[in-house]
Each structure stands twice: as structure tokens, then as C-alpha cells.
């Protein structure tokens, strides 16, 4: 299946491709707002495989494909043979023989890799336990819209060393910024990933020190999907890691803060920051639509 491009992590695209993609997302947002017809892919079908819950990802991909002139199909393991043990590889061969592009949200990252290896059409990672690259497209678009290039800037991740944190490590590398990670000891991201990016990513367990002078502060839930049983235990350990006005006062005076959502007000982020009139968090959520339209356009054009 060589020649087919997939988007499983940010490392699947070059920095220059990512830069173009973000610019295209910004342009497509303006075109959409101007009421332009964006139906460049009539009849194209996106298969959306969701093994985990979603609001933003489902709505943005389904709406995005409709706006591109195609159709999106929701598939869950509960209602397909995927949930009854049909091998991922066999499912990939069959599903990709009928659709034009596939989006998967699941648990193990190996599942999207195995699916992509047998898919005859592009596969997009819409979140695994390890990475959430689509969210980073939206985050980077949001940064560029509000502040211009992120090259050389300083970002701080506060909270769990989870799939979003690991995607920020890849983003630091691909978009050329520095990243400090403030996580409780024992909740660091993958050590190999850290070692590979030690030139621009470092751990600083104290959030106040980590946030000093940074341009961007980012957080996410303390217990991700699949970790619900750890919620209480984590809440106690993560309590000093809340992104709030006090922490933001440590950052640069024009610093932005982001959250991929869904958020827990009073846990990883204060209600004050969530409900602030000048937060960019809602732009960040909306940009999932525009960034993924640009992503699907790029992958569909490449597979023609
Ligand atoms: N941020 C994000 O991926 O949201 P959903 O889980 O609602 O899709
Ligand atoms: N880290 C979170 C992100 C949700 C969009 C999770 O995996 O549940």
C-alpha cells in the first residue's frame, strides 16, 4: 500500500507541509465564512471508526466532509464486526475497498498503525492512547490566527503526560518551539519520545517554575478516556497542577492558554479561565473543523 499518505502522528508530514496545512485551514475558514462552495469532493466517503466517545471530533469530521461535498459514515465497534473479533487487518482491507478516507479513534496506537498498513486509502488518527495529532492542527491554527508564527516561542504543558502532551512534543519538533512539561512525578510522557526531543523539550515538575515567562500554557483532563477508574486518585495528585489566573500571572503578559476540551472546571482549569470572555479555547474547538477539512483535502488530493 505504498504511496498512500496517512496522518497517524505529526511526524507523518514535513514541517513545510504542516505549515501549508495550517495556512490552508485558515483560508478555508475564511472561504467558508464568505459562503463559498467548498464541495470539491462530491461522492467522497469518510468512514469514522469510534471506539471511544467524542463530541468535537465526530461533529467536525462529519460536518467537514459534508462541506467538502462528500458523506461521512459513523462506525462503532459495538455495531460492527470489529467489536466481535474480526481482525483489524481484515477490516482495513474491506472498509478501505469501499470508502475514500478513514478516521479512527481508538485505544492502542498500534491499532491505527495496523489498520493503515492494510488500508488502500488514507487513514487519520483521531486520537489514540498515545497521540491526538488532529487537535494539534487546530491548536497551531489557533496560535497562528492570534499570534502569528510559533517558531522560537515557549510553551508549557501542565498536567498529565498523556496523548495530548505527547502530541505537543511532536509539535514542538515540527513547528520549532520550546516545550516545558509540568507533570506530577510518575506521570511523565514516554521516556524515549522525551529523549528524542531533549533539545527542545524538558520536564520541570513545579508548574510555577515551568510557566515562568512562557507564551502558551496548555492543559488537558487529569484522567483520559480509559482511565476513569483512576480519576479520584489522580485528582489528589494533580491538584497543584491547575491552570488558573495565578499560574497565568507567571507566564508572559500576552500568553495564551489552550485546552482541547472536554474540560473539568475547578480541576485542571479554573472556571475563571474557562469562562473568560477573551479565551481562545472556543476558537480552538471550532478550528478542528477547518483544520481537518484542510487535512482531508490534502490527503484526498494526494491519493487521486
Ligand atoms: N478535543 C476532542 O477531541 O474532543 P472530543 O473528545 O469531543 O472529540
Ligand atoms: N487526553 C484526553 C483527550 C480528549 C480529547 C483523552 O484521551 O481522553
224 lines ligand 2 (CB under 6 A): yes
Mean pLDDT of 193-212: 98
Share the mean pLDDT of the chain.
98
5 is catalytic: no
Contact by Cβ (8 Å): 92, 115: yes
Helix (H) or strand (E) holding 66: helix 56-67
pLDDT, residue 3, reads 78
Given this model, what pLDDT does residue 175 score?
A: 99
How far is the C-alpha of 249 from the C-alpha of 253, rounded, in Å?
A: 7
Tell me the fold of 10-131+285-302: Rossmann fold (3.40.50)
Domain 10-131+285-302 and domain 135-282 have a common topology: yes
Using CB atoms within 10 A of its CB, is residue 282 exposed (0-12), middle (13-18) or buried (19+)? Answer: exposed
Q: How remote is the CA of residue 133 from the centroid of ligand 1, in Å?
A: 12
pLDDT for 136-179, tens place per residue? Answer: 999 999 999 999 999 999 999 999 999 999 999 999 999 999 99
CA-CA-CA-CA dihedral for 37, 39, 40, 42, to nearest 10: -150
Q: How many angstroms is it from 7 CA to the middle of ligand 2?
A: 18
Residue 12 near ligand 2, beta carbon < 6 Å:
no
234 is catalytic: no
Q: Pick the ligand that lies closest to the CA of residue 264.
A: 2
Structural domain spans, the chain: 10-131+285-302, 135-282
Q: Measured from the CB, is residue 54 less than 6 Å from ligand 1?
A: yes
Helix (H) or strand (E) holding 207: helix 207-210
Q: Give yes or no for residue 135 CB within 6 A of ligand 1.
A: yes
What's the average model confidence in pLDDT over 266-291? Answer: 98
pLDDT in tens, 101-143: 999 999 999 999 999 999 999 999 999 999 999 999 999 999 9
For the range 191-198, what are the long-range contacts, defined as Cβ-Cβ under 8 Å and sequence gap of 24 or more? 193/166, 193/169, 194/169, 197/169, 197/172, 197/173
Which of the listed CATH numbers 3.40.50.1370, 3.40.190.10, 3.90.580.10, 3.40.50.1820 matches domain 135-282?
3.40.50.1370
Amino acid at each position: 500500500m505504498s504511496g498512500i499518505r496517512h496522518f497517524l502522528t505529526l511526524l507523518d508530514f514535513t514541517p513545510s507541509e504542516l505549515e501549508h496545512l495550517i495556512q490552508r485551514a485558515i483560508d478555508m475558514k475564511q472561504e467558508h465564512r464568505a459562503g463559498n462552495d467548498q464541495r470539491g469532493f462530491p461522492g467522497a466517503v469518510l468512514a469514522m471508526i469510534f471506539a471511544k466517545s467524542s463530541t468535537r471530533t465526530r461533529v467536525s469530521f462529519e460536518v467537514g466532509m459534508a462541506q467538502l461535498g462528500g458523506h461521512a459514515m459513523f462506525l462503532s465497534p459495538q455495531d460492527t464486526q470489529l467489536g466481535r473479533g474480526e481482525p483489524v487487518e481484515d477490516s482495513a482491507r474491506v472498509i478501505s475497498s469501499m470508502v475514500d478516507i478513514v478516521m479512527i479513534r481508538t485505544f492502542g496506537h498500534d491499532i491505527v498503525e495496523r489498520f493503515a498498513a492494510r488500508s488502500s486509502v488514507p487513514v487519520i488518527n483521531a486520537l489514540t492512547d498515545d497521540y491526538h495529532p488532529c487537535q494539534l492542527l487546530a491548536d497551531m491554527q489557533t496560535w497562528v490566527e492570534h499570534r502569528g508564527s510559533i517558531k522560537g516561542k515557549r510553551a508549557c504543558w501542565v498536567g498529565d503526560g498523556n496523548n495530548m502532551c505527547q502530541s505537543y512534543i511532536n509539535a514542538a519538533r515540527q513547528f520549532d518551539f520550546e516545550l516545558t512539561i509540568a507533570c506530577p512525578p510518575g506521570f511523565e510522557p514516554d521516556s524515549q519520545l522525551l529523549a528524542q526531543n531533549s533539545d527542545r523539550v524538558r520536564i520541570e515538575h513545579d508548574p510555577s517554575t515551568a510557566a515562568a515567562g512562557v507564551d502558551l500554557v496548555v492543559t488537558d483532563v487529569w484522567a483520559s478516556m480509559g482511565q476513569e477508574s483512576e480519576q479520584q486518585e489522580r485528582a489528589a495528585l494533580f491538584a497543584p497542577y491547575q491552570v488558573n489566573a495565578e499560574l497565568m500571572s507567571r507566564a508572559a503578559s500576552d500568553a495564551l492558554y489552550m485546552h482541547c476540551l472536554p474540560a473539568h472546571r475547578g480541576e485542571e482549569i479554573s472556571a475563571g479561565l474557562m469562562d473568560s470572555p477573551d479565551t481562545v479555547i472556543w476558537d480552538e474547538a471550532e478550528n478542528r473543523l477547518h483544520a481537518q477539512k484542510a487535512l482531508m483535502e490534502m490527503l484526498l488530493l494526494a491519493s487521486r
